[in-house]
Amino acid sequence: MTEQTMKQWLLTDTPTSRRHAKISAFYQGWLSFRSNTMAMIGLGILVALVVIAAAAPLLSPHDPYVQDLGNRLAPLGTDGHIFGTDSLGRDILSRLIYGARITLYIVALVALIAPVAGLLVGTISGYVGGWTDTVLMRITDIFLAFPRLVLALAFVAALGAGIENAVLAISLTAWPPYARIARAETLTIRSSDYISAIKLQGAGALRIITKHIWPLCISSLIVRVTLDMAGIILAAAGLGFLGLGAQPPSPEWGAMISEGRRFILDHWWVATMPGLAIFTVSLAFNLLGDGLRDVLDPKAGE
């Protein structure tokens, strides 16, 4: 197949198979996404982040944990330490690079736990209806009524500081919006004709939910998750800053800011660099989320 015909095959109005239609729709989505420069920048930054995290040992010039008290608080551009060193003489650049791993780890875990929990609660609530719906939505409302960061703080306080507990606390505060979205989608899908058609063919509740409702909830959930990522990163950094997330000497960005805070007036770079890193990554997620929303969920845009 030549370049030209491949393109035609992808852009066809008359797909020949279900798979063909899927690939074609995906390709057209990608085309409109690609024309969104800001979203592409966001995607680029995130790809770079993943690469950096994966290749951290190769990329970082120093061991992020090795202290060099003779060379503490070296300024920006010092020989061998482009971003300077922190209060224990550790190379800030190397710590930032290794910190990318922690950030991705937190984001990935929360992005796995919260939407899945929300999807489960939301679809069950919407599909079963009645008392189940009332009770589940009441619980969702209660969690929504909570100030998220304060609730996360209280959770971490109870569970003990640490990166896994931070993930758990953030997930516990992040799932309710997903449940609401999934429920709303389920309600519209449930009453549509094709669901009745499948029911007549003898499909059970489990099959309908997993095969027909979930796939349709996914795209709005993906958009929401991407837009929430920035918030998750900021929350995780906030917990780290308060000393409730990743524990020292782990190079978590929020914790690094907290450490640099003591020297902010004299050695500003120690706190500034990790802040810039957090800012860049959450900005990238916001840009990507905006772009995805335009492609996957055009109604919600603007």
Q: Binding to other proteins by residue 23, rule CB under 8 A?
A: no
Of 56 and 153, which has the nearer Cβ to other proteins?
153
Q: Are the C-beta atoms of 281 and 233 separated by less than 8 Å?
A: yes
Q: How far is the CB of 268 from other proteins (least distance, A)?
A: 5
CA angle (280 as vertex; 278, 286 as ends), nearest 5 = 100
Q: Binding to other proteins by residue 262, rule CB under 8 A?
A: no
To 10 degrees, the CA torsion angle through 251, 255, 260, 262? -140
DSSP sequence for 81-106:
BTT-B-TT--BHHHHHHHHHHHHHHH
Of 244 and 295, which has the nearer Cβ to other proteins?
244
- How far is C-alpha 255 from the geometric centre of its chain's CA atoms? 20
DSSP 300: G
User: Could you say which of 9, 33, 105, 279 contacts other proteins (CB under 8 A)?
Assistant: 279
131's CB contacts (< 8 A; 6+ apart) are none
Q: Binding to other proteins by residue 278, rule CB under 8 A?
A: yes
Of 139 and 198, which has the nearer Cβ to other proteins?
139
Q: Binding to other proteins by residue 151, rule CB under 8 A?
A: yes
The partner residues of 78 in beta bridges, in order of sequence, read 81
Q: How far is the CB of 194 from other proteins (least distance, A)?
A: 25
User: Could you say which of 287, 288, 295, 296 contacts other proteins (CB under 8 A)?
Assistant: 287
Q: Binding to other proteins by residue 218, rule CB under 8 A?
A: no
Q: How many CB atoms lie under 10 A from the CB of residue 34?
A: 13
- How far is C-alpha 121 from the geometric centre of its chain's CA atoms? 20
Q: Binding to other proteins by residue 153, rule CB under 8 A?
A: yes
Q: Binding to other proteins by residue 98, rule CB under 8 A?
A: no
Q: Are the C-beta atoms of 148 and 235 separated by less than 8 Å?
A: yes
Q: How far is the CB of 279 from other proteins (least distance, A)?
A: 5
Q: Are the C-beta atoms of 150 and 204 separated by less than 8 Å?
A: no
Of 62 and 183, which has the nearer Cβ to other proteins?
183
Query: Which residues make up the interface to other proteins (CB under 8 A)?
Result: 138-139, 141-151, 153-155, 157-160, 180, 230-231, 234, 237-238, 241-244, 254, 257, 261, 264-265, 268, 271-272, 274-275, 278-279, 282-283, 285-287, 302
